[in-house]
Amino acid sequence: MSGKVNAILTAALVICALLVVNSQYQYRRLFIEIERAQAAAKQLELEWAHLQLDQSTLAKHARIEANARRDLNMVPVTPDRTQYLTLGGQ
């Protein structure tokens, strides 16, 4: 009887040990995955900040005006070139 109990307890101990090893392995694997995801998130945040800086640079009025003059041959409007529309076609 004592041998049977020892065998059952030994089997239970081995199973518990294997479960502990497996859970530690899963914990390490998930921890590494979290670290990689956090590093990717930091990289994306840096890219987002860079894109926002680029957008603010490209949206400046002076740059837009210079591009309009250079690429589209646009000139500022003057009062003598302004046409006013009135109701009734007069």
Give the global pTM: 0.56
d(CA 13, CA 2): 16
d(CA 70, CA 86): 33
> SS3 for 12?
helix
Report the chain's mean pLDDT, rounded to a whole number. Answer: 91
d(CA 14, CA 8): 10
Domain contains 84:
no
Q: How confident is the model at residue 82 (pLDDT cuts 50, 70, 90)?
A: confident
Average pLDDT, stretch 32-58?
95
Domain contains 79:
no
What is the distance of C-alpha 4 from the center of its chain?
A: 59
Total domains in the fold of the chain: 1
**pLDDT over threshold 90, residue 16:** yes
Domain that holds residue 62: 2-73
Domain contains 33:
yes
